[in-house]
Chains A and B, each alone.
Chain A
Amino acid sequence: MFWKKKKTKRDNLDIDKAKSVMPDNGNILMAIVYYLTDGILVFDKGNKLSLINPKAQEILDIENKNIIGTSLLDLCRNSRVQLLTTVFGGGFKETEKKELEISQDFIIEVSSISLVINREKTGTLVILHDITKQKMIERLKSEFVTVAAHQLRTPASAVKWTIKMLLDGDIGELTENQKESLDIAYKTNEKMIRLVNDLLNVAQIEEGKYLSKLVLSDIEEVVYSVIESYKKMIDDKGIKLEFNKPEEKLPKLLLDKEKMAIAVGNLLDNAVRYNKKGGKIIVSFSINDKEVEVKIEDNGFGILENQKDKIFTKFFRGANIVRIETEGTGLGLYISKNIIEAHRGRIWFQSKEKKGSVFCFSIPIKEKFGEFLTGEFY
């Protein structure tokens, strides 16, 4: 309750001052706005400031109390307000929770919402929410995962090298039985290494510095090389893979090839792993004037209707496939989606339980996205 609110150094919301500037006829709603721990600004139809609460003044570093009625343009003399307008522009484009870095250790989330009363736009509400602490915790978390994963890699390497040397007979000849057991140990360790890789990828995604330099590349080539690397797994399972080359030559796309191969690999891995013996996979391409689309179709186990909305969530695994394949991290599609979206692409799917799934993704063609060439991009 606001009258019990403790004053802290960081929070220089001055209750008494707030009360003094509050109109006498201020009702409870006004009081709430004044004491809110998020910054609130309201602009009228003419983009003039009609309300600002103390928290917004604090965030935007506005000392002057007599600024009601000032136009947005005039307010822009304040550097933070100017920074703020980069989010929604002069025309108050509606935005929801856009991150804005005010300074290195001060990050806020900005929302801008049209105030519509009786179907008429009467102004704009701007909400500023301090997320500095949240961002710091997120960063610490990803840093922890990165360090932990690196630490896990060293023992995994030692196990890998030792078993490999044993298997190769470097430390003495082995019987067939011994080799078989060690082979299982080797494969299990490889899974562990893959899991560590997945965790590192996720940590990097969450740190937001995921893609390396984008270069114009041939997506068909990337997809084809991924298929090649899965050849053994596909053959072992007796799966028939149909690779439909594009009808016309595809334009080159700006890709981080290594990451794109991971994204495609995860989709193909699912199509093989969650398919029956002797199943079928079709890989195809299509193109329109804006984007290139890649389609991976299988006739495997499919996705349960009531779980479709969770399919790209981190650590999610389908209830029907957990029963069939106990292994898997539930990170594959989450990683794929993030890689594709970092390329400004889209990913979607259609699926029917026991019939199979079709996963598609599209990547924009660069001519339409000039900012690709100049803009900073991770």
Chain B
Amino acid sequence: MAKKILIIEDDKFLRELISQKLSKEGYDIKEAVDGEKGVKAVKDEKPDLILLDLILPGIDGFEVLAKIKEDPGLSSIPVIILSNLGQKDDIERGLKMGADDYLIKAHSTPPEIIEKIRSVIK
């Protein structure tokens, strides 16, 4: 069965672009446009992996991550942060909070993102 990936990203263009690319790779894609909808989608969809942006309207990515990790039913879902916040502090904070990996959008290409997803969910 196709692995399910949830993309939490507020930028429509980026979201559609990466969603299109991942669908082509055979993944089942779900999308959420802000933090609140993201948390809801994690609960409803129980995805195999979450691609999480950090700067989101309403509750931000760090809060979304915290909510996922404090819920025993969801905490085992791998999370890859995909953000343009590239400061070391942000990266360390994200990883410390339990994210599996951290990618900076402007420094990664779609194939690199896929590679990362593959290495995390195998």
Chain A contact residues, CB within 8 Å of chain B: 150, 153-154, 156-158, 160-162, 164-165, 168, 170, 193, 196-197, 200, 204, 212, 258
Q: Which of A157, A165, A170, A212 contacts B105 (CB 8 A)?
A: A157
Q: From A162, which residue of chain B is reached at the shortest CB distance?
A: B17
B24 touches A157 (CB 8 A): no
Q: Which residues of A sit under 8 angstroms from B110, Cβ to Cβ?
A: 161, 164-165, 168, 170
- In the assembled complex, the Cα of A168 lies from the Cα of B112 at a distance in Å of 12
Q: From B53, which residue of chain A is reached at the shortest CB distance?
A: A154
Q: Which residues of B sit under 8 angstroms from A212, Cβ to Cβ?
A: 88-89, 92
Q: Is B57 an interface residue (CB 8 A)?
A: no
Chain B contact residues, CB within 8 Å of chain A: 11, 13-14, 17-18, 21, 24, 55, 84-89, 92, 105-107, 109-111
21 contacts between A and B (CB under 8 A): A150-B84, A153-B84, A153-B86, A153-B105, A157-B84, A157-B106, A160-B106, A161-B17, A161-B21, A161-B109, A161-B110, A164-B109, A165-B110, A168-B110, A168-B111, A170-B24, A170-B110, A193-B107, A197-B86, A212-B88, A258-B88
- In the assembled complex, the Cα of A162 lies from the Cα of B105 at a distance in Å of 12
B106 touches A156 (CB 8 A): yes
B86 touches A200 (CB 8 A): yes
A160 touches B109 (CB 8 A): yes
Give 13 A-B pairs besides A154-B11, A197-B86 with Cβ atoms closer than 8 angstroms: A153-B84, A154-B14, A157-B106, A160-B109, A161-B110, A164-B111, A165-B21, A165-B110, A170-B21, A170-B24, A193-B107, A200-B86, A212-B89
Q: Which residues of B sit under 8 angstroms from A158, Cβ to Cβ?
A: 11, 13-14, 17
SS of A interface (majority): helix
Q: Which residues of B sit under 8 angstroms from A197, Cβ to Cβ?
A: 86
Q: Which residues of A sit under 8 angstroms from B18, Cβ to Cβ?
A: 161
The 8 closest A-B pairs by CB, nearest first: A157-B105, A153-B84, A212-B88, A164-B109, A153-B106, A157-B106, A193-B106, A161-B17
- In the assembled complex, the Cα of A204 lies from the Cα of B21 at a distance in Å of 34
- In the assembled complex, the Cα of A158 lies from the Cα of B88 at a distance in Å of 23
Closest CB-CB distance, A55 to chain B, in whole Å? 39
- In the assembled complex, the Cα of A193 lies from the Cα of B84 at a distance in Å of 11
Identify the interface centre among A154, A164, A170, A212: most chain B CB within 10 Å of its CB: A154
- In the assembled complex, the Cα of A19 lies from the Cα of B56 at a distance in Å of 60
Q: From A164, which residue of chain B is reached at the shortest CB distance?
A: B109
B111 touches A150 (CB 8 A): no
Q: Which of A154, A165, A170, A258 contacts B84 (CB 8 A)?
A: A154
Q: Which residues of B sit under 8 angstroms from A161, Cβ to Cβ?
A: 14, 17-18, 21, 105, 109-110
- In the assembled complex, the Cα of A62 lies from the Cα of B17 at a distance in Å of 64
Closest CB-CB distance, B52 to chain A, in whole Å? 15
- In the assembled complex, the Cα of A204 lies from the Cα of B86 at a distance in Å of 12
Closest CB-CB distance, B28 to chain A, in whole Å? 18
Q: Which residues of B sit under 8 angstroms from A170, Cβ to Cβ?
A: 21, 24, 110
Q: From A163, which residue of chain B is reached at the shortest CB distance?
A: B109
Closest CB-CB distance, A91 to chain B, in whole Å? 39
Q: Which residues of B sit under 8 angstroms from A162, Cβ to Cβ?
A: 17
Q: Which residues of A sit under 8 angstroms from B11, Cβ to Cβ?
A: 154, 158
Q: From B107, which residue of chain A is reached at the shortest CB distance?
A: A193
- In the assembled complex, the Cα of A212 lies from the Cα of B11 at a distance in Å of 30
- In the assembled complex, the Cα of A197 lies from the Cα of B85 at a distance in Å of 11
Q: Which of A157, A196, A204, A258 contacts B14 (CB 8 A)?
A: A157
Closest CB-CB distance, B13 to chain A, in whole Å? 5
B85 touches A150 (CB 8 A): yes
Q: From B112, which residue of chain A is reached at the shortest CB distance?
A: A164
Closest CB-CB distance, A263 to chain B, in whole Å? 15
Closest CB-CB distance, B31 to chain A, in whole Å? 16
Closest CB-CB distance, A187 to chain B, in whole Å? 13
Using known A-B contacts A161-B18, A164-B110, A170-B21, determine if residue A154 contacts B105 with beta carbons closer than 8 Å.
Answer: yes
Q: Which residues of B sit under 8 angstroms from A164, Cβ to Cβ?
A: 109-111
